Amino acid sequence: MATPIKGAGLTKPGVVILQFIFLAFVAMIEIFFRSNVGFLTGFAIWACYYGGLTYGRAGTTYVAVVNPPIAFGLAVILLLPTVGGLSLSITRLGVDLISGLASVAPFLLTGALYGWWSYFKENKVLLTRSA
């Protein structure tokens, strides 16, 4: 499990904003050079899970686990038509979105498994302290 930082850490909105900006930046670079997302964005997804769990305050674990897939989806939907050079063709956007999701699916799944494991482990600790 990630060791929290000393000090206050990020709030829930801070975790969401930091994860979205980081994922969008890496996805933008990868879409610009490769015209779709791939392993670099996958590593950024892992970094978002780990960073959210490490740098967030106590109680931000749920947000740190739930947000990366949402941030990734929103970033890709916004970036493919703009940076990727695609028009607003719904069919082309759909095909590229599905292929992008397929290429980062292992990163999303393994990151989510680690994140949910951390979340349930933290909740177990919180529940045993209150009893």
* pLDDT, position 130: 59
* pLDDT, position 126: 63
Would you call 53 exposed, middle or buried from its count of C-beta atoms within 10 A (0-12, 13-18, 19+)?
A: buried
* pLDDT, position 111: 95
Yes or no: say if 47 and 2 are a contact pair by the CB < 8 Å rule: no
* Alpha-carbon distances of 7 from 10, 55, 65, 118, rounded to whole Å: 10, 10, 21, 20
* pLDDT, position 90: 82
* pLDDT, position 9: 85
* pLDDT, position 123: 83
* Residue-level pLDDT, tens digit, the chain, 131 residues: 556 566 788 899 999 999 999 999 999 999 889 888 989 999 999 999 999 999 988 889 999 999 999 999 999 988 888 887 766 778 888 888 898 889 999 999 999 999 999 999 888 876 676 55
Yes or no: say if 72 and 41 are a contact pair by the CB < 8 Å rule: yes
CA atoms of 127 and 31, how far apart (whole Å): 43
Provide the whole-model pTM.
0.85
